Amino acid sequence: MNASPAGLETPPVLRLRGIRRAFGDHEVLRGIDLDVAAHEVVALVGASGSGKSTLLRTVNLLERIDDGVILLAGEDVSDPRTDADRVRGRIGVVFQAYNLFPHLSVLDNVTLASRLVHRIPRAEAERRALGLLGSIGLGDFARSFPDRLSGGQQQRAAIVRAIATDPELLLLDEVTSALDPELVGEVLELVRALAARGTTIVMATHEMAFARDVADRVVFLDAGRIIEDAPAREFFAAPREARSREFLSRFLPEA
Ligand SMILES: Nc1ncnc2c1ncn2[C@@H]1O[C@H](COP(=O)(O)OP(=O)(O)OP(=O)(O)O)[C@@H](O)[C@H]1O
């Protein structure tokens, strides 16, 4: 926990305790405890099916939990009486693909939540959106429809849309896995810039470059349990013998 100047403790942006979720007999999340401090960037890694997406979806209340507690800046949002839309308004999310509405211009995509959910006047929302799009080299595409953009440009626009409302937390779920390899770098650069700006991020990724170059912490999920949670530098420096076979075959095959 961070201590404020007054000595009062600030709750983490996200605190998960004992999160469980099963689909039928299949226990997909088996007691997840995780704290994410303000400005921290956490990479969630693990084999396909280990529960990364399900975990992110529970945080955003897109998936219900069977047990556990989700605290967002100290507020228990897992209480069934919670207004899910209000919580989603505090969290930015970007998925693997199909994030942008195809029938809206890039600018309308980026300003939609600001205008409709946060009630920011159109002119102000557009001024801010144009600034954000310009800062990532997409200013000329503001009036275009998404299909005019490359996959990498679309994902960057989707990330800009997710941060346009200044969310307390940004969730990125495999944002580069549908991209051609040569487009991954430009998305990584944007995420790196957001991290440098202090955005609090939890990202599920199969791209080790994201975990190694952008994350402060790496959390390794195996069959619904966290089996490693370490600062990124330590995580990548850990000896091979400390690694599970699954980890080695997936993430360090060349070594
Ligand atoms: N709605 C659902 N109904 C039934 N099973 C589900 C559902 N959602 C997820 N699962 C199962 O939960 C397990 C975990 O899925 P999840 O998508 O969270 O894994 P993941 O680690 O994100 O995988 P990937 O890296 O492939 O995206 C998988 O076995 C999946 O089939």
| Counted domains in the chain | 1
> How high is the pLDDT of residue 21?
97
Angle 191-254-183 from CA coordinates, rounded to 5°: 30
pLDDT tens digit sequence for 197-215: 999 999 999 888 888 889 9
Give SS3 for 190.
Answer: helix
Closest ligand 1 atom to the C-alpha of 46?
21
**Most confident by average pLDDT, 110-114, 167-171, 233-237, 248-252:** 167-171
Q: Which of 48, 63, 176, 225 to mutate to test the pocket of ligand 1 (most atoms within 8 A of CB)?
A: 48
- The residue-averaged pLDDT of 21-38 equals 96
Give SS3 for 153.
Answer: helix
Give SS3 for 13.
Answer: coil
Q: What is the pTM of this model?
A: 0.91
The Å distance, Cα 11 to ligand 1 centre, comes to 30
92 lines ligand 1 (CB under 6 A): no
Decide: 83 and 131 in contact? Cβ < 8 Å. no
Decide: 159 and 191 in contact? Cβ < 8 Å. yes
Decide: 72 and 13 in contact? Cβ < 8 Å. yes
Tell me which residue range forms the domain holding 69.
2-251
d(C-alpha 28, C-alpha 40), whole Å: 25
Q: How confident is the model at residue 120 (pLDDT cuts 50, 70, 90)?
A: confident
The Å distance, Cα 29 to ligand 1 centre, comes to 10
pLDDT higher than 90, residue 90: yes
Q: What is the mean pLDDT of the chain?
A: 89
CATH number of the domain at 74, please: 3.40.50.300
H helix count then E strand count, the chain: 9, 12
